[in-house]
Amino acid sequence: MDGIVVNWRRFLLPGITLLVAALIVWHSGNETEEDLPVEDSPSNGTAPYTPPAFEAVPEDENDNDSAMEEQSFLRENGTDIVVRFSDAAELAAFRRAWEEAHPGTSRPIGQLKALRIQLDSPSALRRLLDNLPQDADTSPNLPVQLPRGPDFDDITATDYQPFTQGLRHWLGATDQVENWGRGITVAVLDTGIADLPGNQAFRQIDLLAETPDARNLSPHGRAVALLLAGEEGLAPASDLLSIRVLDGKGQGDVFTVAEGIVRAADEGAKIINLSLGSSRDHPVLQDAVNYATARGSLLVAAAGNEGRDGLPFPAAYPEVFSVTAIDAERQQANFANRGSIDLAAPGVGVAIPWSEDQFLQMNGTSAASPIVAGAAAALLSEFPNLTPRQAAEVLRQNADDAGPTGPDDRWGQGVISMERSLQHRQQGVHDPAIADIYLHPQPNAEGNYQASITVQNRGTEWSGGLTIWVNDGQKDHSFTINSLDVGESRGLTIPIDAKRVQSEHGVTLKALLESPTGLRDDRPDNNEKAVQFHIEVPE
């Protein structure tokens, strides 16, 4: 799971280590989960489905071919099966008959016309397959887990700058945030939480069968909830709904997560945070995402920490807002996955007040996701006419470009900026900026590297007549940008000799932006940037 560290001092050390296990007392008053209703639906003029009685099939009556087929299916799919029906009435009829023979082995999500069946023998599998409606489909219930923790040996203070304190200030949030999220229900699907200091409007639903054990309760869910809706979160006044879908080890399954998504949407959650994932797609998870999206919920999910190309599910779905992790210098963390990223947010050494005299330090995309979810909830409370999807678009359109110019598979649309998002309707903001300096990792055909200097209009008014000076340590380069629309980014490139980049001290690039006389600049502090680049050559 994501790295979590609890420090026993008020001020955090810059080093990042694994979480010291903490005892958390489970809050009494969990809601009990009952079977979800199965709504009747028309049968389109066909004869109603009537499953036969599920009588026991003696093991010795199974022919060899059937037994081999069953064993093969069990090896491939396990004994935990998800069945999706095309008709809700068929689901209800099948489940009634199945439960008579196998009580307590099935669980429905009526809204998705899906049924989870936990088999106990090959003969039970044979009865299942023989008596399903022809248009029903079966699939294994896949595992879901917290994002695997980053390799802490590769995360040092010299490589990354942690967000030790002042997260809200870094994000550009104002000091008057106590009402952010008011009237907005936000759901956290995670390992459950015991309490949430400062947030009294807090409910829990437990979708796991076993009784929660305080000694085995992972702190992950509480950390995520604090980042979203705690005293130092971006939506401290929101109504938090904690839905427990993962156990104390941070493990679960797609069916339970899908059930949690449906429950969150039915409970009126405008924002649903999912700091979890499955390595494989599953139709019941996609159905749940579609269900919640159709009811107006915004799903925000962690991009994962495996450092690979491709996102886990549900972050990989286009309907889900996917979030990657960066450090305080806006570098994408090397453990974060790459792909269809929407936004980048703090995820290295993020400090969370854990108690009166403790800070928790969290690393991973699990920390970045609830920050974005909280920002969306804050926008909904500040701009009541926005829908959750529109709030996400405001965050995306007002992100600070990072990395190569424009959207990319590492930073997505850019780095979250609460200041710009809150000012998106405010006229008269002038803010041309040096957004980033980026060295493309591969040399061109001539053997030189290319550096991109990105200039972005972060204001709400047109900008132009800009002069950009770039010094590469040997000479100056100058560029002119005559016109830059609101939110637009423009990339300028210069070649860098490979020998210089690969030398012991590397190359330091410095960029300076100058606005024409008479054109106001409301944030002149972002007109300069310097970055050092060094590429090691393998021996």
Q: What share of the chain is helix, strand, coil (3-state, %, to 5)?
A: 25, 25, 50
2, 190, 239, 287: which one is catalytic? Answer: 190
pLDDT-derived band at 54 (thresholds 50, 70, 90) equals low
pLDDT-derived band at 78 (thresholds 50, 70, 90) equals low
Which of 179-183, 457-461, 503-507 is predicted with the least confidence, judged by mean pLDDT? 503-507
Query: 3-class SS at 480?
Result: strand
Q: Range(s) for CATH 3.40.50.200 in the chain?
A: 3-15+144-421
Q: What is the DSSP string of 301-315?
A: EE--SS-SBSPPBTT
Question: CATH 1.10.1740: does it fit domain 59-142?
Answer: no
Sign (positive or negative) of CA dihedral 67, 73, 79, 83: negative
Mark whether 220 is an active-site residue: yes
pLDDT over 90 at 479, yes or no: yes
pLDDT at 393: 98
434 vs 201 pLDDT, higher one = 434
Average pLDDT over residues 462-475: 95
> Which contacts (CB < 8 Å, 24+ apart) does range 481-485 have?
481/455, 484/432, 484/455, 484/456, 484/457, 485/457
Nearest in space to 184 (alpha carbons), one of 376, 321, 2: 376
Q: Range(s) for CATH 2.60.40.10 in the chain?
A: 428-533
Q: At what angle do helices 283-294 and 254-266 cross, to 10 degrees?
A: 10
What would the pLDDT profile of 101-154 be if each residue is shown by its tens digit? 889 999 999 999 999 999 877 778 778 888 899 899 999 999 999 998 765 555
123, 366, 369, 452: which one is catalytic? Answer: 366
What would the pLDDT profile of 204-236 be if each residue is shown by its tens digit? 999 996 655 555 778 999 999 999 998 889 999
What would the pLDDT profile of 397-427 be if each residue is shown by its tens digit? 999 999 999 999 999 999 999 999 999 999 9
Cα–Cα dist 257/245, whole Å = 6
% residues pLDDT > 70 (the chain): 81
256 vs 23 pLDDT, higher one = 256
User: Residue 420 in contact with residue 466, Cβ under 8 Å?
Assistant: no
Residue 391: phi and psi, rounded to 5, are -60, -40
123, 206, 220, 247: which one is catalytic? Answer: 220
User: Residue 255 in contact with residue 114, Cβ under 8 Å?
Assistant: yes
pLDDT-derived band at 24 (thresholds 50, 70, 90) equals very low
pLDDT at 21: 31
Task: Among 2.60.40.10, 2.40.50.140, 1.10.274.10, 3.40.47.10, name the CATH number for the domain at 428-533.
Answer: 2.60.40.10
The class level of CATH for 3-15+144-421 reads alpha beta
Mark whether 238 is an active-site residue: no
Which of 168-177, 255-264, 343-352, 508-517 is predicted with the least confidence, judged by mean pLDDT? 168-177
What would the pLDDT profile of 269-314 be if each residue is shown by its tens digit? 999 999 999 999 999 999 999 999 999 999 999 999 999 999 999 9
